């Protein structure tokens, strides 16, 4: 579809990450969170910090994919397809403390979209489309070990999507990478000598982004457990010698 060929249509505006040299370093009882190399342009706020959970509001991600709260949009009333796309990527290094493990990671995102398609009694209708593509990757020693992604198309209203890594048991350092893109395109109906140009409008904006990292005490055997294990091995050894 013509409207989905980002980069090929007329009137495209592309917005990427800008320079915000503000490294992140957050410590909790269970872990330490830092930016991955190359992802120092970031802003977050801490919503919760305990031995069980570190929860962050991803302020820079919201800012980039909402045009600083003003809102990204595409508009046309001349019959020329216009589109706008905003990309954002961030990465974090998660280092667990001794005796703790990462058990679950959840990314909750809220989007607001609006679609207004031009209509005319004598001309073909215009176009108004939008989408968002979201991705999350967990890496260990440079290798992707888990990934999750969601795509949301043609949103006219508000909707939340969630990306999750469940049943984790990481006790060492891992990397977490986030990718986000919002796209919108609109083509109105051009003037035809009878009617003026009729507008089409599309928007897609990120209004909320919350990253939650759940942590738990590692399953490390207590000293008494080691004692019971050694005692059991000794009994097995005695039993084996008696059979011989």
Question: CB within 8 A of 103, min separation 6: which ones?
Answer: 167, 168, 169, 214, 215, 216
Q: Which residues of the chain have pLDDT under 50?
A: 1-21, 222, 224-226, 238
Instruction: Give me the pLDDT at residue 190, please.
Output: 95
Instruction: Give me the pLDDT at residue 23, please.
Output: 83
Task: Take residue 141 and report the two structure tokens written for it.
Answer: 């020693």
Radius of gyration of the chain from Cα atoms?
26
Instruction: Give me the pLDDT at residue 207, please.
Output: 96
Distance CA 27, CA 34 (A): 9
Q: Mean pLDDT in the chain?
A: 85
DSSP track, 81-105: -EEEEEEEEEEEEEEEPTTEEEEEE
Backbone dihedral angles phi then psi of residue 155, each to the nearest 5 degrees: -85, 125
Beta strand 12-15 pairing with 82-96? parallel
Enumerate the domain spans of the chain.
2-243
Instruction: Give me the pLDDT at residue 143, please.
Output: 94
Instruction: Give me the pLDDT at residue 10, please.
Output: 31
Instruction: Give me the pLDDT at residue 160, please.
Output: 98
Instruction: Give me the pLDDT at residue 235, please.
Output: 53
Instruction: Give me the pLDDT at residue 155, please.
Output: 98
Instruction: Give me the pLDDT at residue 122, please.
Output: 87
| Whole-structure pTM value | 0.80
pLDDT tens readout for residues 4-60 = 333 333 333 333 333 334 689 999 999 999 999 988 888 999 999 999 999 999 999
Element (H, E) at 59: helix 59-64
pLDDT tens readout for residues 128-139 = 999 999 999 999
């Amino acid at each position: 579809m013509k409207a989905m060929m980002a980069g090929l249509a007329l009137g495209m505006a592309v917005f990427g990450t800008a320079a915000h040299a503000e490294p992140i370093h957050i410590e909790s009882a269970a872990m330490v969170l830092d930016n991955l190399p190359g992802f120092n342009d970031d802003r977050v706020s801490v919503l919760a910090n305990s031995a069980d959970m570190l929860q962050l509001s991803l302020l820079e991600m919201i800012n980039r994919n909402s045009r600083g709260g003003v809102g990204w949009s595409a508009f046309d009333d001349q019959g020329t397809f216009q589109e706008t796309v905003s990309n954002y990527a961030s990465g974090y290094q998660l280092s667990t403390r001794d005796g703790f493990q990462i058990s679950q990671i959840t990314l909750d995102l809220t989007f607001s979209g609006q679609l207004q398609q031009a209509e005319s009694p004598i001309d073909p209708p215009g176009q108004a489309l939008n989408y968002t593509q979201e991705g999350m990757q967990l890496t260990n020693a440079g290798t992707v070990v888990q990934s999750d992604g969601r795509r949301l198309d043609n949103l006219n209203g508000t909707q939340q999507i969630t990306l999750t890594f469940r049943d984790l048991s990481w006790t060492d350092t891992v990397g977490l990478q986030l990718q986000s893109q919002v796209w919108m395109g609109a083509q109105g109906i051009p003037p035809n000598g009878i009617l003026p140009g009729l507008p089409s409008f599309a928007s897609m904006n990120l209004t909320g982004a919350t990253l939650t990292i759940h942590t738990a005490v590692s399953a490390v055997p207590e000293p008494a457990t080691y004692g019971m294990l050694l005692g059991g091995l000794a009994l097995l050894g005695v039993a084996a010698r008696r059979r011989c």
